[in-house]
């Protein structure tokens, strides 16, 4: 019997979105060093929308669908709380370096939360069935 996880794609999208944000936040400033293209990565944009807001949107949608029918309140709190830390830190990262660090923390917690969700919904049921 194959265990189904209807919102598994949301977990993968959430993990990918958080990892891409981490990579973006590490690489863009490194590439900008010594150039006059940008002073910080908060101003990099994709068309009319800042990549920071795109990452918030992607992760918000992923958390919504990952927790939509989930019964674990602690996991819902972890994912929504991580998203809140992540979003606030990206919005205010230009104001203080603390928000930059909190952005990495929020992103890391989102990755952990989605991995736990995948374990609970996909791996644990398979182990019980064995």
Classify 129 as helix, strand or coil: helix
Which helix or strand (DSSP H or E) is residue 2 part of? none
According to the model, what pLDDT value does residue 3 have?
43
Going residue by residue through the chain, which has 130 residues, state the pLDDT in tens, using 9 for 90 and above: 344 455 678 888 888 888 888 888 877 666 656 555 455 544 455 554 578 888 999 999 999 999 988 888 999 999 999 999 999 999 998 898 899 899 999 999 999 999 999 888 877 667 777 6
Residue 45 is given by DSSP the state E
pTM of the predicted protein model: 0.77
Contacts of 66 (CB under 8 A, 6+ apart): 7, 10, 11, 14, 79, 114, 117
The shares of helix, strand and coil residues in the chain, as percent rounded to the nearest 5, are: 75, 5, 20
C-beta separation of 42 from 95 below 8 A = no
Q: What are phi and psi of 93, to 5 degrees?
A: -60, -25
C-beta separation of 72 from 64 below 8 A = no
According to the model, what pLDDT value does residue 113 have?
93
């Amino acid at each position: 019997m194959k265990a189904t996880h209807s919102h598994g794609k949301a977990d993968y999208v959430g993990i990918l979105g958080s990892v891409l944000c981490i990579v973006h936040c590490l690489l863009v400033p490194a590439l900008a060093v010594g150039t006059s293209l940008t002073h910080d990565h908060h101003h990099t944009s994709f068309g009319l929308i800042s990549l920071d807001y795109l990452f918030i949107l992607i992760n918000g949608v992923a958390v919504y669908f990952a927790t939509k029918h989930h019964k674990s309140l602690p996991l819902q709190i972890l994912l929504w709380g991580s998203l809140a830390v992540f979003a606030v830190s990206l919005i205010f990262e230009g104001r203080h370096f603390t928000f930059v660090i909190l952005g990495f923390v929020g992103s890391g917690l989102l990755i952990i939360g989605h991995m736990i969700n995948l374990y609970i919904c996909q791996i644990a049921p398979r182990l019980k069935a064995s």
